[in-house]
Structures are given as C-alpha cells and as structure tokens.
Amino acid sequence: MIPSTYPTREEIARLTARMLLEIGAVNFNTETPYTLASGLPSPSYIDCRKLISFPRIRSTLMDFLTITVLRDAGFEAFDNIAGGETAGIPFAALVAERMALPMTYVRKKPKGYGRNARIEGAMSEGQRVLLVEDLTTDGGSKLSFVDAIRDTGASCAHTAVIFYYDIFPETEKTLGDHGVALHYLCTWWDVLAEARAQGAFSAETLDEVENFLKAPRAWQEAHKKG
C-alpha cells in the first residue's frame, strides 16, 4: 500500500542515516581504509544489503523510497519497477508491491544460455520503468542497466536508491546526460551529521572521514598502496 503520510525530505534523510548506523551498515576506518570495487581506498564503507534482514527498518525505508519517488516523479509516472542485479532486486520487489506495479530485474550481463536475456520478468515496449538500486557512487554502473531496459523498447528516465554518496560532482551530470533523474533518501553528509550527533565514532575518525568527503580523489591518491 502506498503510504499516505510521510516526513519532510530532511527528516527522511536524518532517519535513514540513523537506521543505517543502528544496524551497523556504516563502517568508518581511517587507520586501515577499505578497498572499493574500483581498487581505490576509502575510510568509509556502507552495506545497504544488511537492510533486508531488519523488517521494521526495511519496511520504513521502502515507504520512504516509494513516497520520495512519487512526490518527485509523479504518482502515475511508472508502469514497471526494475531492480539491478543483485542488490537492487529485493528493494525493487518491495517498492513494486507498494506501487502495485509489475516487477522485473536487470542482469549485469546476459546469462549466456537459453534466451540469453538481461531482463527477467515481463517488460514491454512503451512501458515507463523505474530502476531501483541500493546505492550509487558516481552513477556509472546505472547506465548499463538503463540501456538494457531501453533496448526492450521501454523507457527509463528515473533511478531510485536508498543511499547516494554525493561526493563526486560528476554523478548527477553523468546520469542527467543519459536522460536519467536520480532520487535518493540520504547521503554521506547526512550519515556524518547523524554520527556526530550520536557520538557513534571518535571525533578524530569523523574528522578524517569529513576530509575524505570534502576531497575524495585527493584523499584516495594520498592513501593509495604502493
């Protein structure tokens, strides 16, 4: 069911950050930085996949994501909800349930046998598709999913995520140039503010994370191994 009441955008961001901290999805380590998929170091790491194991938080965040998309894109803007393999699949299913719409998912690459499909489920020409994922960093990985959706003859002009890094200035331009609008619940800045309010990590750790968020490329260059 579509939620009929909801907090302000600012309160949604604060509560989302609080929930991510509460379940241990937020990880800060300035002494031994994490290695991202790109191979670059980062003092911060977030695991939105953990959300599926916490029913109350999961349900609340899916209400937030649904109403954020409806408020920003329109209440009759979509015909199909697609999840990106793999992290986006459960969240797409939950959003589709709330919107009473068909759900599909998009493979990262063709499965290599049978129909060799990238789209699983029923997606048809002319449908307006919302791409749902867990998070976005620089927006690049979304483009392949969007192109796979468009190859079916459907359109995809919106993507919704729980978490948006909001530290790489090119992200929204990359998506915008591809004709895709980004919708999200919270960013690293929201998480940092809530972590400070809670005293969830030491002040020194949070100060170093803030240094990274302000200049991520320079921080990564200075902390690369070898």
List the structure tokens of 59: 């349900």
List the structure tokens of 55: 């029913």
Q: Are 102 and 96 a contacting pair, CB within 8 Å?
A: yes
- Cα torsion for 6, 155, 136, 189, to the nearest 10°? -40
Sequence-separated (6 or more) residues with CB below 8 Å from residue 197: none
Binding residues: 107-108, 111, 133-141
Where would I find the H helices in 34-169? 55-73, 88-99, 140-150
Helix axes 88-99 and 55-73, enclosed angle (nearest 10): 70
In sequence order, what E strands does 79-202 have? 80-84, 103-106, 119-120, 128-136, 155-164, 181-187
Binding residues for 5-phospho-alpha-D-ribose 1-diphosphate: 107-108, 111, 133-141
Helix axes 203-214 and 188-198, enclosed angle (nearest 10): 170
Binding residues for orotate: 137
Question: In terms of Cα–Cα distance, which of 185, 5, 4 is closest to 91?
Answer: 185
